[in-house]
Structure 1
Amino acid sequence: MPSPLAGIRILDLTSVIMGPYATQMLAEYGADVIKVEPPEGDIMRKMGPCGKAGMGPVFLNLNRGKRSLCLDLKSAAGRDAMYRAVASADVFITNVRLKALKKLGLDRDALHQHNPRLIYLFLSGFSEAGRHAGRPAYDDLIQAMVGLPHLSTAAAGGDPRYVPLNIADKTMGLFAAQTVLAALLQRARSGSGQYIELPMYETMAGFVLLDHLAGNTLVPPVGEPGNPRLVSRYRRPYRTRDGWLSTMIYTDGHWAAFLALVGRPDIWERDRRFGSVAARTECVDIVYAFIEEQMLQRDSADWLEALARADIPVAPIADLKALVDDLRQSPAGVIEEYQGHSGERYLGVSPAVRWAGASAPLAAAPSLGEHNEEILRELPAAHRESRPQSR
């Protein structure tokens, strides 16, 4: 069975994390992703410890299975090669700022002249229809603007903190990949290409407010924004006598079993604050504080065994090394060893999704300009005599 996106060509004029994460997923689905890079390469090539120059770990983990086309888009030859590539492409995806795209002749009107069936996805920091249009956007800034540091303070106190992940970039990568898939389905029905803008700030704001619009959902509002369970200061891993555990005592069944386990079944009958999901949500700090008090009474190993036996969700708190070690031992894969083009060995994060039929092995990320000659031979004839320099 062919891969789902076999035969689809995607021009990837993105850098850093958001766009490359989206296009790597599409490459994993079988698309031919051509990563267009300037002569200096994607900035992430130089980030982190490099076993091979220009092949930093984040770059390796976000650009596997792609082909690299190195072009100087400020030159006539580079733009000509880009237009030839556009003529053969199904999708063009970019997170270059709109002003720069217009200056380079890579705005939507210019590219649709070369390929009316092209799906053009513009990943903007802020909606071009909004009051922040044109501003630069980075993960930390977007986290701040959509309230994530505020939520961390509300939940845990202390100084505001960013989520220690590039969570906005990677969430936007997921949105971008699904947007491309939907656009390809629409084009299969209509036969026409289109322009799509996917703004980072507005998309992430909606992502956060799905949980936290709360009382503002109703008009007029009946309460302030914020989900009380999610911002409770007690919503955190629980300390045991000798460590920490995560447990989720959530349903009525969980609570009846937990109260019996700690020798307090009477609470279920006489204390209305524990008797329903609605009541527990209303009194969330009280019920979470009760769990915290009880968890201190036993060792972690005792709790893991007792809670699992009672069918209450529970898990130890893993550090990153433990996570990698666990996944390397899993028959489901996820963390796998693979070989680079020059024989070097890497660990990579493979997709957890499993399609019917054989799964393709992990493919290496490309070196800068590695596929220039190969790709340029595949493209339609040049509009000019000049040709870009291969690297």
Structure 2
Amino acid sequence: MTNPPNQTAPAGGPLAGVRVIDLSTVLMGPYATQIFGDHGADVIKIESPEGDSTRWIGPGRHPGMGPLFLHLNRNKRSVVLDLKTAQGAAAMRRLIEGADVFVHNLRPASITRLGLDYESVSAINPRIIWCGVYGYGEDGPYAGRPAYDDLIQGAVGIADLQQRSGASEPRYVPLTIADRMVGLHAAHSVAMALYGRERTGRGCRIDVPMFETMASVVLSDHLYGRTFEPPSGDAGYVRLLSPGRRPYETSDGHICALVYNDGHWQRFLRAIERDDLRTDPRFADLSSRTRHIDEVYGFLGQTLRGQSSDHWLALFEQIDVPAVPLNSIESLLDDPHLAAVGFFRQVEHPCEGEIRTFGTSARWVGYDVSQLAPAPRLGEHTESVLRECGFDASALVSLLVSGAAVSEAAGVQVSA
């Protein structure tokens, strides 16, 4: 649920005082750093003069402020540096001197060419937590290859699992699930590294490869019978792969229900007056139902088609079996539970006007994580952040005139 303002909590979240230099683009890295910013970190987003490409995705009110960018880059400050110039690279090194965390999603060869590999960055700041998120681990033959969410979904078997579970052909899940999962892994890895640094005083390097991370996620469900040597069965968790595992059609729509454990089944079969099945060995226990999962799901599908969605939702609530209506994205916006917990926030963006967003889903007691700073305009904070790092007016003018830095402000006049 979203956190309401906490009048007794200190200003800022648990990461207040932590400065993150975010040299990541698109989704995976920005999602990790969004989590840092949401929890109080000062996230400095380093952008090229062209800006993060997500600025240009989707409908927007002004160029460069698309909906994906607005959500992924709230609670961040935008600094534009051309890192291929000597002055831009020097400014980046100055930022790194005072940072706690450095995050990037460039390929290893690219980050090395920029002089921002771990060895170079730790030489500037030995306490820094350096985190690289990219496609593949450096020890294997895929090292250095480009990687995107779709490619990783295919490489780790997700698209194939879609077909095995009933789709007519391999399909990608319609979510950037690999980017999000790997971003979460990066966020918790950095949090653990910060905790370790508190005890040891040492910074460290963290590599978070997409392929290996998502392979572990998929295989934790689907290694299944191939867990054992020799195998005790095939790979693939049969319940998840059954074509019947889908929202159930009712007489007037669809619902989502999970008649799962032994208690659920006994109460459900009693409620629909199918006592004959209460002793049927196929329905006897979880192990047996798993072995006969296609029959089990087939029976549920046939049964639920006979009554309305409201009938089944009321019955499932009465007998304490988990069930929910089937939402669309549009109906989710009006979900009564999300409304009751204050999930959605209407905020005023300084240039985009009123937008709908959402806060952190975890509830914190003792910290205030309710504040949402709007996603920045390209180069909005270039001057203020560089001033904080010790650049005086003449140094700023030099950076801006040369094009090594770009400010949102028109012209290059900088007040002393």
Return the offset for 1:100: 1.2
Secondary structure, aligned partner of 1:64: coil
Encode CA deviations 1:306-361: one digit per residue, 9 max, x unaligned.
11111111111111010012269613222211011236111112111121154423
In the TM superposition, what are the counterparts of 1:160-171 in structure 2 within 5 Å? 160-171=170-181
Aligned residue number for residue 318 of structure 2: 309
Secondary structure, aligned partner of 2:274: coil
Query: Does the aligned pair in 2 maintain the 1:233–1:285 contact within 8 Å?
Result: yes
C-alpha RMSD of matched pairs (Å):
1.6
Count of residue pairs the alignment pairs up: 389
Secondary structure, aligned partner of 1:354: coil
Q: Structure 1: any 5+ residue segments left out of the alignment? A: none
Structure 1 residue 118 and structure 2 residue 131: aligned?
no
Q: Residue type matched to 1:324 in 2?
A: L
Q: Residue type matched to 1:181 in 2?
A: A
Distance in 2 (CA, whole Å) between partners of 1:263 and 1:328 is: 32
Structure 1 residue 20 and structure 2 residue 25: aligned?
no
Q: Residue type matched to 1:55 in 2?
A: M
Secondary structure, aligned partner of 2:147: coil
Q: Residue type matched to 1:283 in 2?
A: H
The more displaced of 338-347 and 192-201 is: 338-347
Distance in 2 (CA, whole Å) between partners of 1:177 and 1:216 is: 31
Distance in 2 (CA, whole Å) between partners of 1:235 and 1:111 is: 49
In the TM superposition, what are the counterparts of 1:348-367 in structure 2 within 5 Å? 348-357=357-366, 358-367=368-377
Aligned residue number for residue 390 of structure 1: 406
Of 225, 231, 244 in structure 1, the residue corresponding to residue 254 of structure 2 is 244
Length-normalised TM-score, structure 1: 0.96
Of 280, 302, 322 in structure 2, the residue corresponding to residue 293 of structure 1 is 302
Encode CA deviations 1:242-274: one digit per residue, 9 max, x unaligned.
1111100001111011111221012112x1110
Of 35, 42, 50 in structure 1, the residue corresponding to residue 60 of structure 2 is 50
Aligned residue number for residue 85 of structure 2: 75
Distance in 2 (CA, whole Å) between partners of 1:202 and 1:278 is: 30
Q: Residue type matched to 1:368 in 2?
A: L
Return the offset for 1:380: 4.5
Distance in 2 (CA, whole Å) between partners of 1:124 and 1:184 is: 21
Return the offset for 1:157: 3.6
In the TM superposition, what are the counterparts of 1:252-291 in structure 2 within 5 Å? 252-269=262-279, 271-291=280-300
Aligned residue number for residue 110 of structure 2: 100
Aligned residue number for residue 413 of structure 2: none
The more displaced of 191-200 and 349-358 is: 349-358
Q: Residue type matched to 1:353 in 2?
A: A
Length-normalised TM-score, structure 2: 0.91
Secondary structure, aligned partner of 1:34: strand
Distance in 2 (CA, whole Å) between partners of 1:327 and 1:276 is: 35
Query: Does the aligned pair in 2 maintain the 1:14–1:20 contact within 8 Å?
Result: yes
Distance in 2 (CA, whole Å) between partners of 1:191 and 1:210 is: 34
Distance in 2 (CA, whole Å) between partners of 1:177 and 1:114 is: 23
Secondary structure, aligned partner of 1:259: helix
Return the offset for 1:362: 2.2
Of 309, 328, 331 in structure 1, the residue corresponding to residue 340 of structure 2 is 331
Query: Does the aligned pair in 2 maintain the 1:38–1:72 contact within 8 Å?
Result: yes
Return the offset for 1:102: 1.3
Query: Does the aligned pair in 2 maintain the 1:87–1:380 contact within 8 Å?
Result: no
Distance in 2 (CA, whole Å) between partners of 1:373 and 1:142 is: 38
Query: Does the aligned pair in 2 maintain the 1:37–1:70 contact within 8 Å?
Result: yes
Distance in 2 (CA, whole Å) between partners of 1:30 and 1:359 is: 7
Q: 1:192 to 1:16 in 2, by over 3 A?
A: same
Secondary structure, aligned partner of 1:52: coil
Distance in 1 (CA, whole Å) between partners of 2:369 and 2:99 is: 25
Return the offset for 1:381: 6.0
Structure 1 residue 39 and structure 2 residue 49: aligned?
yes
